[in-house]
Homo-oligomer: A and B are copies of this chain.
Amino acid sequence: MSTNKLPTQADDFPAWYVEVVKRAELAEHGPAKGSMIIKPHGYAMWELTQRALDDRFKATGHENVYFPLLIPMSLLQQEADHVEGFAPQVAVVTRGGGQELEEPLAIRPTSEAIIWSTYKRWIQSYRDLPLLYNQWGNVVRWEMRTRLFLRTSEFLWQEGHTAHATAEHAQAETLRMLEVYREVAEDVLGIPVLKGRKSPGERFPGAVETYCIEGLMRDARALQCGTSHFLGQNFGKAYDVTFLNADGATEHAWGTSWGFSTRMIGGTIMAHGDDAGLRLPPAVAPIQVAIVPIFRTDDERASVLRVAEKLRADLAATGVRVRLDDRDQHRPGYKFAEWELKGVPIRIELGPRDVAAQRVVLASRLGGDKEEVALADVAAGMAERLASVQKALYADALAYRETNTHEIGSFDAFASGVAEQGGFWIGAWCGDAACEAEISTKTKATIRFLPLEPADPGAACVHCGKPGVDVATWARAY
């Protein structure tokens, strides 16, 4: 671990991010351009996120499946908007087993194409519907400018793909999974998010509507945290997926897709971290409690470690993810700084005097005074303590977002405000894509979302002055 100070968030947020990812040993760049190696501490965060999502997918009736990585190019090209959106980002396999391939294969940038071409075989009757399937895997989207977790050529994610007999069922599914994403983002990752609908220009290629959850990072830039797409019958038609309805008539199936990725590890870092490093919500912290023993002599070492090991076992028995840091090559001060950097929510210090007094010193990553707690009470009280850290981090991020959310008074105030302070800016929009593009050019902000249902703003567009047809929330975003 480097002992140099981190760059501060205020001085250079991007440099802070790069250094935290590196020093907290979350990830690093791989040898191929845009690739990422996820290290144990980062991957463990992803595993906890996966478990939280997967449990909820299953509780809402979904099953997991696995579709191939490699997709014939011709298959990818059947839905016109979809191929137009993804073609520039595709990695192509042209050789296999020592030979040139007859037809090149795309590495999946997303799996709608291969899944809907298969659903054609799986769906005949309304009785086959809905299909509620999810897939865990990797995808590749060629990226020129990459940033660990936030934008890499390969990333890990889940992609849900469902097929339904009616538009209403598909629409309800789209919003159900958006709600699952909100719950995981807020309750697990501790990131307050707003639900909304993308403007047509920001939609997923091939979708009728794209819904999203959006969070605000501690540099006041927005991060799209998950998307859920209502596909209408677009893929049903492109891949000729039809079914006989209860009346014996043939219809095209309705679809949804939704995805949540390793990008959210980046989101968790940027939503909570401070100038000392990560601050991890306990629900996604690979180590929730670190015990640092303090001693000078061999006798002290033996007695302190005996008590510390007992405490570790007691905490582990209550389901707490606990690490006893008994490394001999580092001093306690070094260990304190390391666990602080790595965002461990609770640190326990235990020295000879603590052993004598049958107590520990407890320090929260959120700061405040250190606290002396009776040894006998530590394990029993830890779940509540962790829950309160979880709540406090969420509350902190929520307060930050509220402070950084503004109603647009005038366009000039919006333009200068979003440039100087960042944050969310809310105002009336005319619904015109050209006006949206002009605003983006002038402000470098994009519409992060519109309300779930179009809302009459009762005011003129903040930019062009034409009648407002919807309420747009703007921000500069990742």
Contacts and interface: CB of A to CB of B under 8 A. Distances in A.
B37 A64 contact: no
A114 interface: yes
A368 interface: no
Contact of A93 (B107, B133, B156): B107
A97 interface: yes
B114 A30 contact: yes
A177 B126 CA distance: 48
Interface stretch (A68-76, A218-226, A446-454, A456-464): A68-76
A348 to B, nearest CB: 22
A6 B336 CA distance: 65
Interface stretch (A137-145, A160-168, A296-304): A137-145
A124 B64 CA distance: 41
Contact of A65 (B38, B71, B104): B38
A154 B68 contact: yes
A88 interface: yes
A30 B68 CA distance: 7
Contacts of A98: 87-88, 142
A169 to B, nearest CB: 19
Integer count of this chain's copies in the complex: 2
- Size range of the chain A interface in the assembly: 35 or more
A329 interface: yes
A185 B393 CA distance: 44
A32 interface: yes
Contacts of A127: 329
A66 B97 CA distance: 25
Interface in A57-90: 63-72, 75, 87-90
Interface stretch (A40-48, A357-365, A466-474): A40-48
Given A93-B91, A95-B91, A97-B89, A36 B154 contact: no
A12 B31 CA distance: 48
A70 B140 contact: yes
A248 interface: no
B138 A70 contact: no
Contacts of A96: 90-92, 142, 153
A331 interface: no
A39 interface: yes
A261 interface: no
A118 to B, nearest CB: 6
Contacts of A71: 31-32
A117 interface: yes
A280 B169 CA distance: 34
A40 B68 contact: no
A97 B21 CA distance: 27
A294 B67 CA distance: 37
A253 to B, nearest CB: 18
Interface string A317-342: 00000000000010000000000000
B63 A97 contact: no
Given A37-B68, A91-B96, A75 B137 contact: no
Given A30-B114, A88-B97, 13 more contacts: A30-B68, A31-B71, A32-B68, A37-B118, A38-B65, A39-B65, A43-B65, A44-B64, A92-B94, A93-B107, A94-B95, A97-B144, A98-B142
Q: Which A-B residue pairs are the 7 nearest by beta carbons?
A: A97-B142, A35-B68, A40-B63, A38-B66, A92-B95, A30-B68, A91-B96
